[in-house]
Amino acid sequence: MRKILAIIVALVMLMALPTLALAQEPARYNLASAQGNKDLKVTLGGEATGMIYFYNIDGNRITHISLEVSQAPSDWQVEIQPPVGEIQVEIGGTIVTVTENLHVEPSEVLLQEPESVPQGMVCITVPNRGYALAKAANIIIRVPESEGIGTKADITVSAVAEWLGQTGAAAINQARDFNFSFEVVSEMPGGEEKIIEEHGTMEIIGRWLPAIIAAVIAVLAAVLIPRLVRRRRG
């Protein structure tokens, strides 16, 4: 009986070792990001979207990210998606409220691009390493109709990442700026072809028929009348 109990205790301890090792593993904080096209064009009254991607392949703690517009023309509209909101996080048995736009959980580098990705995530290329699952932030810019063509403007989006400690308070945070340059351009040439008015051949002839008849009569009169006059005199 004692041998059986000893074996059970040993198995329980072996199963608990990975959890204990993870709990004792030094915290690694990672704010990894990638930015899409930095130079964008937008039409009068139109909108353009800049992209920022966040991933977490070198950390072992969840990264909570807040975004805000720190520089933009006063009359331009700048929208960040996803918007800021609150989530409930459990840490050390305590429920904590965190304000964020998005968060990224620790993940691993992928050697091959996956055929499918989880909902709400995208797959990006990590230079010299492979692929990673990331979350995207959309920076949507809307330009007023009154803006002048050729106007250029810089927009800065500031990101603040934070990681929670065992008490639920922010243990550490890190800030990073993302800069975009926008140029206002005219509408692209071309567009849908529309027929304003259509005329068939018979319709054109019908419209001009009275004038044609009058011209023919005038010509005939100019030719025939002198001949008739000459015959009578002769």
How far is it, in rounded angstroms, from Cα 179 to Cα 40? 11
Alpha-carbon gap, residue 93 to 35, rounded angstroms: 36
Scanning the structure block, which residue is given the tokens 């205790």? 9
Give the residue numbers spanning the domain of 48: 23-182
Q: Please report whether residue 48 resides in a domain.
A: yes
**What whole-number distance in Å separates Cα of residue 105 and Cα of residue 62?**
5
- pLDDT at residue 182, as a whole number: 96
> For the chain, which ranges sit under pLDDT 50?
6, 8-23, 188-205
**Residue 147 DSSP one-character state:** S
DSSP run (H or E) holding 228: helix 201-233
Q: Is residue 16 part of a domain?
A: no
Is residue 126 assigned to a domain?
yes
* Distances from the Cα of 173 to the Cα of 58, 164, 214, angstroms: 16, 9, 92
Model confidence over 102-153: pLDDT tens digits?
A: 999 999 999 999 999 999 999 999 999 999 999 999 999 999 999 999 999 9
**Residue 153 within any structural domain of the chain:** yes
Please report whether residue 2 resides in a domain. Answer: no
Q: Any idea what the CATH number is for the domain that residue 100 is in?
A: 2.60.40.10
Nearest CA among 39, 65, 35 for reference residue 155: 39
Residue type at 132 in one-letter notation: A
Q: What is the DSSP string of 204-218?
A: HHHHHHHHHHHHHHH
Counted domains in the chain: 1
CA count, 13 A, side-chain hemisphere, 78: 22
